[in-house]
Structure 1
């Protein structure tokens, strides 16, 4: 059973607004911020109907069986005549995207740089794992979210490790994606057992393409005379023979020259392959989020194997929970 709670921004009162709420949707993608939308039934005869307590800046919490699913701030209200009032809610990472700041890091560890930014902006930290990639960068007029994303990308190119950032119960967590395997389940009724969401797919679409394939990767290093030198070049000969040469180049710092071939190998492993963009509509499980890995076996479209969830949009209407997922092969995410 889902319940939607409203906490006034001065913490003076808490309301259960479930009875006056129509459908609820929330989504996540491979950015730190996630969003929720809900509609409140509105009539102009308050003596016959509960008063709407929602206002901008209030906190909204979505609960499922006493477990918190989502927490965020109302940032937008939309009214149109006597239609239901639409509210848009963002989690606390919204603040990281709306501010602009300046940071200068002098070869400090990536995890230390990220932790400093989060603490400066009052974010509660759940977990920032050790990331030893040195960050030697000046960030001007960038949002904290943009800076953190750039730091994560630098660490990924150096190590091949990809992290997902998300808020859970008001705290921000960074987890390595390879560890985030999820198996969605649902129950048709309280007196029935859990079933795998893949046992009854509602809709499925699959697209395969070579448009973004790259089968040769070159790594460039800039020397002091502003000349570029090829530090490493790796290729997949079988894919070149089958599909033709598709090349990409990347620039790294001169001090990382020793790692050039390893960087090239990591990038080629991600790019030298067919790409898939797939969508699934399934019965819902709140644990299924963007950045998770999901094992799929869908015989109609031929989807089979482990996929990464790029986006997850959940909908609850009349207590029926469904979700729409966009899936890709894990190595395709940039």
Structure 2
């Protein structure tokens, strides 16, 4: 693991790896953007630990063969005490999350909306997944740029059922189909799992969705009979949106099984990232099959790479609601 400190104003770059006590690289499906928290050894009297002052606005680059993370330091701590100092950096998704824009889009696809927003905030992109969906109208009144982009892709998801994954990679923004499985890899209690836990709760079950029009009249309903038979009825409502098939949208709201919270500690693997799926075999918890990574935390300390993963049997997407007009497929 190599950690470099980059000072743009000085046009200088420093390898600070030898002064690092630990590094944690983390992300989550439902909390956009990735962060790095790193602890630097601090001893003002040890000449071997002399490094440039770490300042707000400086950048860091984390690499382990390839570059894993490039981001800006937002939180800085300084002290004369001997010990460690902790800093936190975020990738450029932070710019999209904390910058607001106002738009009134007409007859554009989610990918075209994303391209325009990214150009306005000067964020480069490497891939914007084509959807084949035309959004006739989308009104954004001082909304975060990230919410605007994901709001457009959420509309596509509700029409097609295909989920999308936003991610910063190699210093560029991208929206990808959420279909990737960590290849040639299995989390197993026989090889790399060091601890695993599983809890299950019926909180969140919604097995009946009632569909209403904008006047409050019920116009339809979807349900999952096996779930209502086993667990009873847990109902929710969906109000029709222009251009969105109400049955498809209501079906996407169904949550028919108890929610599982799965936490695994394991030997680190750089490919295990939030939004990807992974094969798991663990006899103690009975886990067997494909699960989706909802959050990941990779830690390097004393030259050892470990990871903590939260898994779900259900695939998730960071959904955002933006006011829309009528939508229709291209064609």
Match of 2:286 among 270, 285, 302: 302
Q: Secondary structure at the match of 2:63?
A: strand
Map of 1:104 onto structure 2: 104
1:216 to 208, 212, 228: 208
2:322 corresponding residue in structure 1: none
8 Å CA contact retained: 2:187, 2:281: no
Counterpart residue number, 2:56: 56
Counterpart in the other structure of 1:149: 150
CA–CA separation in structure 2 for the residues paired with 1:97 and 1:302: 38
**Could you say which residue in structure 1 is the equivalent of 2:176?**
175
- From the superposition, tell whether residues 299 and 10 of structure 1 become closer, same or farther in structure 2 (CA, over 3 Å): same
State yes or no: 1:205 paired with 2:197: yes
Q: Structure 1 residue aligned with 2:271, among 287, 302, 309?
A: 287
- Kept in 2: contact 1:197–1:284 (CA 8 A): no
Alignment CA distance shift 1:11-1:51 (3 Å): closer
* Aligned-residue offset at 1:6: 1.5
**For the structure 1 residues 331 and 14, does the alpha-carbon distance in structure 2 shift closer, same or farther, using more than 3 Å as the test?**
closer
For normalisation by structure 2, the TM-score amounts to 0.88
Aligned to 2:239: 251
Higher helix share: 1
Q: Counting strand residues as a fraction of each chain, which structure ranks higher?
A: 2
CA separation in 2, counterparts of 1:240 and 1:127? Answer: 41
Question: Cα distance, 1:92 vs. partner?
Answer: 0.8
List alignment gaps of at least 5 residues for structure 2. Answer: 320-331
Cα 1:245/1:116, change in 2 over 3 Å = same
Please list every run of 5 or more consecutive structure 1 residues that lacks an aligned counterpart in the other structure. Answer: 186-195
State the match for 2:329 in structure 1. Answer: none
Deviations 1:141-192 (A, max 9, x none): 22112222322222211111111111111011211112x111476xxxxxxx
Q: Which residue does 1:188 correspond to in 2?
A: none
Q: Distance in 2 between matches of 1:212 and 1:12?
A: 51
Counterpart in 2 of 1:274? 258
184 and 275 in structure 1: CA distance in 2 versus 1, 3 angstrom threshold: farther
Q: What is the CA-CA distance between 1:328 and the residue it aligns to?
A: 0.8
Change in CA separation of 1:273 and 1:319 when aligned onto 2, cut-off 3 Å: same
- Residue 233 (structure 2) pairs with residue 241 (structure 1): no
In structure 2, how many angstroms separate the alpha carbons of the residues matched to 1:232 and 1:125? 41
Does residue 119 (structure 1) correspond to residue 119 (structure 2)? The answer is yes
Is 1:39 the equivalent of 2:39?
yes
- Whole-Å separation in 1 of the counterparts to 2:10 and 2:213: 55
When the two structures are aligned, how many residues end up with a matched partner?
A: 313
Q: CA shift at 1:11, angstroms?
A: 5.9
Aligned to 2:246: 260
2:121, 2:136 → 1: CA distance? 19
Q: Which moves more between the two structures, 80-89 or 158-167?
A: 80-89
1:283-328 deviation line (CA, Å, top 9, x unaligned): 1011211101111111101122211111100100011000000111
Q: Which moved more, 1:291-300 or 1:129-138?
A: 129-138
Between the aligned partners of 1:139 and 1:9, the Cα distance in structure 2 is 34
Q: Take 1:22 and 1:207, find their aligned partners in 2: how far apart are those partners?
A: 33
Structure 2 SS opposite 1:288: coil
User: Can you list the C-alpha shifts for 1:37-60, whole angstroms capped at 9, x where unaligned?
Assistant: 111112223645423342221221
Contact 2:16/2:51 (CA < 8 Å) preserved in 1? no
